[in-house]
Structure 1
Amino acid sequence: MVDQLETHEVQFGSHNVGRVRRHHFTCGGNLTGESGLLGSEGFPGVYPPNSKCTWKITVPEGKVVVLNFRFIDLESDNLCRYDFVDVYSGHNNGQRIGRFCGTFRPGALVSSNNKMLVQMVSDSNTAGNGFIAMFSAAEPHERGDQYCGGRLDKPTGTFKTPNWPERDYPAGVTCSWHIVAPKHQVIELKFEKFDVERDNYCRYDYVAIFNGGEIDDAKRIGKFCGDSPPAPIVSEKNELLIQFLSDLSLTADGFIGHYKFRPKKLPSTTLAPVTTAASATTSLKPTVPLCQQKCRRIGSMESNYCSSNFVITGMVITTVSKGGSVHATVSIINVYKEGTLAIQQAGKSMSAKIIVVCKQCPLVRRGLNYIIMGQVDEEGRAKVFPNSFVMSFKTKNQKIMNTLKNKRC
């Protein structure tokens, strides 16, 4: 919310955010009407620590909300874990359109109805000048090439970037396709053509794909850019979310993709042998016999190195319990053997998704460093079993790991 006081020009370095009423941006509020401004508490001053502010935006019935960030400067982190702005379509239990931090300014964000929720969270440490954004009301689809995405629930379908195939996709676009299959079915996804602005870390324009119906780092299957189509993807359950985002500069041809529903494969009634790390990969879900095994590594570091699909060292930064398993994100220190592991990159930081199939075995804790060797599922996620080679990583292990990397299996 903003008081009706004097206006002044706001300038940060080369960024001029225009005439902004001074002051006062407060922590959250209800904003209604055809258009308006919202900003972090105290903007353009440094925002306060340990805060959580929520703005509920409502435009007239029958219209959609379009949000444009004019300036953003929050603590930077490749996973936006500390200070961030979340934008949701709707007020309650809405679909998250995106999470933003650092100085990355997304293109126009469009809600699917006349309501949008913006939430800013800050932790106790580093801060910045915050953000200022403008909202406006628009007719659904009136924005033409700026408007894309939606819910897809037919058994087969196609999704593509705005302007495809006549010309490049526009700058400053955010699209979210939410694909929903019937219960007990999964979604198979394949890109026919793919050309999105290339960057080693996919920082500017990218496609991100998530298991489930919302943007959630723990459920992210991958983040893609460049001109090589991603490998075919199969959802874990009956929902997938595809997000496409382009920044305000270079664009490219774009993409066209297809999806189809198919029955979930029934799990085998016989338990696969689990005498080695390699054979254990045929059982991807926690089962009583598998998880009742003794929690111990089988074989040596050397034998596991050769039999493993991937070998990395890294710090566990997030852990989420799901059923009898633990889904973890590992911030990678070194990659010794990549195999088919899907590695995410942002700046110089690399991370990977790890599924510890049996919750207690091996036990991994947040904040600790590990050597992890194992196999990879068809979606590029690491699978760790009770007999996989996982051990604490110390600096002294570096020499052994480098020797193994140069070894021919």
Structure 2
Amino acid sequence: MHHLTEIGSQREDAFHGVHCEISLFFRTMFPCGGHLVTDSGIVASEGFPSFYKPNSKCTWYITVPESHVVMLSFRLFDMEADPTCRYDYLDVYNGHTRLVQKLGRFCGTFRPGALLSTSNTMMLEMVSDDATGGRGFLASFNAGKPHMEEDQFCGGRLTKPQGSVKTPNWPNSNYPAGISCSWHITVEPSNVIEVKFEKLDLESDLYCRYDYVALFNGGETDDSRRIGKFCGDRAPATIVTNGNELLVQFVSDLSVTSDGFMAHYSSVPPESRTPTAGGDFIYRPQPTSRPQKPTSKPRKPAKPTPKLTTKPALRSTPKPSVKPKPKPTKKIGTLHSNFCPHDFVITGKVTSLSPDPSGSATLEVFLIKAYKAGSLKINKSGPIKSITLNSACKKCPGIIKGRNYVLMGMVDAQGNGQLSPSNFALIYQPAHAKSLEILSRKSC
């Protein structure tokens, strides 16, 4: 049982790093929502760092001085995980109303990247259901200078009849983790804007939750809907706006990065182009042999039951299935029959899979939770924990980069995790957390 105490204390360490920063707020609990009118400050879920309340809805309105923008940076994030954030979530809006662009919906334990408004206001709305919870979120905000220069590092106001937008570091290296960029493009009133992507290579995800570029019809404060949200490594077709303004938002999380994107825009007469259908379309990365229809909506899975009513273990957001379905992961027996025979039992996201010339492979795994760690080496970088595993062959036991797994294996004398074809591996689902928690309490 010692390993459970150790893992629990590791989770507390993630919050200890900012203890001093928020200690002044401990005497008076963070309230449920409110109006924050200042050039900088702290915003957090109700009662932080205690667990947030069930069945609640809190709204915060942030206002910084005129001629500035709101820069929001998350320090800690711990909410119930779900692929589409249906249960507990935090919505961030580009203004003080739900009619403006939504900068993102967040849940789970992945800390979102920095968010940037295009005016001096921003709204945060947090919703929780009746069961599983977490500690919530802690973020700081401050007034930043608006994007005015066209050659600045990230984002800008573009008014020329043609130009380009690209991710930072393009094309020399990958874009940074944990950033947000916003470009506001305006051309002459009688024309529309045509956008062509030269290349797109962002972290792939069915719902583009982690790294993405989103395009919106209209400017900064109108209620135009999103044209599209894109990720993966296949560039979308040519995009045409329905007016002379376009808002482009790029967001990356704190884990996997990639090459990025380069897109060119030009001002064109409206009669020569057909506007791209707007809406909440999300580009779903697919192999080119079997593309998925972009207009289809995924079926929502049934809400897992029963939900935990006690303080939950740290969980991350599992990634939903993608068609065509990957080959089933190699698994012999059940969670119960495999738990004790293996040296380690963890859940995590495979962020890197590198084959070796010898035919083996090295896996980098972002740790969600260790239910049985033993002498396994766990790397820590602030609140982020990761594990390096060695697999006997590239495709065993059937691991795919970017997915969440339950992994069981052996540990060598140096503390290195080893995977073989006979080891247990299973695509992680929220229902597994309760079973693994029960198994971890039993004596092997």
Report 1:266-305 matches (<5 A): none
Match of 2:397 in 1: none
1:249 aligns with 2:255: yes
CA distance in structure 1 between the partners assigned to 2:83 and 2:44 by the alignment: 23
Contact 1:187 1:238 in 2 (8 A): yes
TM-score of the two chains, using structure 2 as the length reference: 0.51
Which string of whole-angstrom CA distances, capped at 9 and with x for unpartnered residues, describes residues 41-81 of structure 1?
A: 12223322343322222334444332111112223333334
Match of 1:55 in 2: 60
Change (3 A) 1:265 1:102: farther
Match of 2:36 in 1: 31
How many residue pairs are counted as aligned between the two chains?
282
1:69 aligns with 2:68: no
Match of 1:109 in 2: 115
User: Which moved further from structure 2: 24-33 or 113-122?
Assistant: 113-122
Identity of aligned residues (%): 51
Contact 1:46 1:128 in 2 (8 A): yes
SS in 2 for 1:66: strand
**How far apart are residue 109 of structure 1 and its match?**
1.5
Q: Going by fraction, where is strand more abundant, 1 or 2?
A: 1
- Structure 1: give runs of 5+ residues left out of the alignment: 1-9, 269-283, 286-321, 352-409
Match of 2:18 in 1: 18
CA distance in structure 1 between the partners assigned to 2:88 and 2:112 by the alignment: 16
CA distance in structure 1 between the partners assigned to 2:125 and 2:66 by the alignment: 22
**How far apart are residue 34 of structure 1 and its match?**
3.9
1:44 aligns with 2:49: yes
Which residue of the other structure, out of 316, 331, 341, is the alignment partner of 2:293? 341
TM-score of the two chains, using structure 1 as the length reference: 0.55
CA distance in structure 2 between the partners assigned to 1:232 and 1:160 by the alignment: 16
Contact 2:170 2:260 in 1 (8 A): yes
User: Which moved further from structure 2: 148-157 or 186-195?
Assistant: 148-157
CA distance in structure 1 between the partners assigned to 2:154 and 2:290 by the alignment: 35
1:156 aligns with 2:148: no
Which residue of the other structure, out of 231, 239, 257, is the alignment partner of 1:224? 231
Contact 1:110 1:147 in 2 (8 A): no
**How far apart are residue 120 of structure 1 and its match?**
1.6
Which string of whole-angstrom CA distances, capped at 9 and with x for unpartnered residues, describes residues 28-50 of structure 1?
A: 11223343211111222332234
**How far apart are residue 257 of structure 1 and its match?**
0.5
SS in 1 for 2:293: coil
Report 1:170-319 matches (<5 A): 170-179=176-185, 186-197=192-203, 202-210=208-216, 219=226, 221-226=228-233, 228-235=234-241, 240-264=246-270
SS in 2 for 1:256: strand
AA matched with 1:348: P
Change (3 A) 1:127 1:169: same
SS in 2 for 1:15: helix
**How far apart are residue 202 of structure 1 and its match?**
4.6
Change (3 A) 1:117 1:256: same
Contact 1:224 1:230 in 2 (8 A): no
CA distance in structure 2 between the partners assigned to 1:166 and 1:267 by the alignment: 34
Contact 1:145 1:162 in 2 (8 A): no
CA distance in structure 2 between the partners assigned to 1:63 and 1:213 by the alignment: 16
Match of 2:85 in 1: 80
CA distance in structure 2 between the partners assigned to 1:142 and 1:11 by the alignment: 43
User: Which moved further from structure 2: 180-189 or 41-50?
Assistant: 180-189
Alpha-carbon RMSD across the aligned residues, in angstroms, is 4.5
**How far apart are residue 24 of structure 1 and its match?**
0.2
CA distance in structure 1 between the partners assigned to 2:86 and 2:224 by the alignment: 10
